[in-house]
Amino acid sequence: PIVPDAVLFKRIDSLVAATPAFSGVIAVGKRGAIVYIATSGLIRPGGSKPTSITAFNLGSINKVFTEILVRQTAAEQGWSLDTTLAALWPEYPNQAVAQAITIRQLLTHRSGVQGDIFASDSAARGKLRTLRDFLPLFVSQPLQFAPGTRQSYSNAGYVLLGLLLEHRTKRSYYDLVAERIYRFSGMTSAGYFPRDSLPEFAARG
């Protein structure tokens, strides 16, 4: 049976009230319009409650944006996802790796590309502002396994895809996401904000 809106919203309110650790926003849309919003928690210590325009750290959901951009660019430029990295980026600094892996393997975490892009030193992490800043953290690493033989989650592989997009389009990865994902989807509060200078509407994770 179809649950009446009022009953659904009351259930959500009860779940939020019963989950004090939850900090965020729940929005329900109907026929293209937001019909219900519930908020809980604070956007940062000593800060205010979240609202419908609060920006939250999306984490690896951003990988979906990267895949969309890769597929769009491949279609526009006429290359296959089974093309090697070397064929699309002959100047990539580690050609042994570039010749062995395909774009599809990078997208599906089957490339073997490894490297810790999360420096343990918080001060060092603060200096990582562009995708190019991450490259030295993994570019010289050998492949973890023969491409296509295993699957292993690779953050470095997706940074590499972002760098490939910059190389192929001659545009900043962040500008591409802003234009083709955020603005296209009406995500007016979304963006890439440095950890040390978050805007007031951004939550601190």
Terminal-residue alpha carbon distance, the chain: 38
What pLDDT shows up at residue 94? 97
CA distance 148 to 195: 35
CA distance 116 to 134: 9
Compute the average pLDDT of residues 65-82: 98
- Summarised one tens digit per residue, pLDDT across range 93-121 is 999 999 999 999 999 999 999 988 886 56
Radius of gyration of the chain (CA): 20
Q: What are the structure tokens assigned to 2, written together? A: 């179809």
What pLDDT shows up at residue 188? 86
Rounded to two decimals, the pTM is 0.85
Share in percent of the chain as helix, strand, coil (round to 5): 45, 10, 45
Compute the average pLDDT of residues 47-58: 87
Determine the distance from the C-alpha atom of residue 193 to the mean position of all C-alpha atoms in its chain, rounded to a whole number. Answer: 13
- Summarised one tens digit per residue, pLDDT across range 120-129 is 565 566 678 8
- Summarised one tens digit per residue, pLDDT across range 145-168 is 999 999 999 999 999 999 999 999
What pLDDT shows up at residue 14? 94
Q: What are the structure tokens assigned to 117, written together? A: 């892009």
What pLDDT shows up at residue 121? 63
């009230």: which residue's tokens?
A: 17
